[in-house]
């Protein structure tokens, strides 16, 4: 009898849509659940080298919570590519200016750093308010 491990392909799984309400949620704990869902680790057909996860829509990103003194101390960096082009912004200012980016950066850091990770990152949609334009995909509400 031949025994082998089943390896799922991208075409073997159907992508489901999930909505997560981030109101009052702690950023890191929310990001781990989202990254796991996007990666497909909840799926019995999970295969590390293929996309078996769901598309995730996050609403109310402006009402996310950071514990301790992270709002004042956590710093996000970016570089323009030019000499002296390093820019930094604190989590507090980023939450005021672009609250979607807080969730986006946290989830991106938990995904693989390769071609698959960049592909999986496109399955995350984050919105600051309670409205989103993905009602036609009939997303299910994910309770965390």
Q: Any alpha helices (H) in the chain, and if so which ranges?
A: 27-39, 70-73, 91-97, 99-108, 115-121
For residue 26, what are the β-bridge partners? 65
CA angle 56, 138, 50 (to 5 degrees): 40
- Give me the domains of the chain, ranges plus CATH numbers: 15-66+96-141 (3.90.1180.10)
Separation between Cα atoms, residue 144 and residue 142, nearest integer Å? 6
The pTM of this model reads 0.91
Structure tokens at 142: 């994910």
pLDDT tens by residue, the chain, 144 residues: 677 888 888 888 888 999 999 999 999 999 999 999 999 999 988 999 999 999 999 999 999 999 999 999 999 999 999 999 999 999 999 999 999 999 999 999 999 999 999 999 999 999 999 999 999 999 999 998
């Amino acid at each position: 009898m031949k025994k082998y491990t089943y390896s799922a392909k991208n075409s073997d799984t159907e992508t489901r849509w999930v909505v997560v309400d981030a109101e009052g949620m702690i950023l890191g704990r929310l990001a781990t659940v989202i990254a796991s869902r996007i990666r497909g680790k909840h799926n019995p057909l999970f295969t590390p080298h293929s996309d078996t996860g769901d598309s995730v829509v996050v609403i109310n990103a402006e009402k996310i919570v950071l514990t301790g003194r992270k709002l004042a101390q956590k710093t996000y960096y970016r570089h323009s590519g030019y000499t002296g082009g390093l820019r930094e912004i604190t989590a507090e200012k980023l939450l005021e200016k672009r609250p979607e980016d807080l969730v986006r950066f946290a989830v991106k850091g938990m995904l693989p750093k390769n071609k698959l990770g960049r592909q999986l990152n496109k399955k995350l949609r984050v919105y600051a308010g309670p409205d989103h334009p993905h009602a036609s995909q009939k997303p299910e509400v994910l309770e965390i």
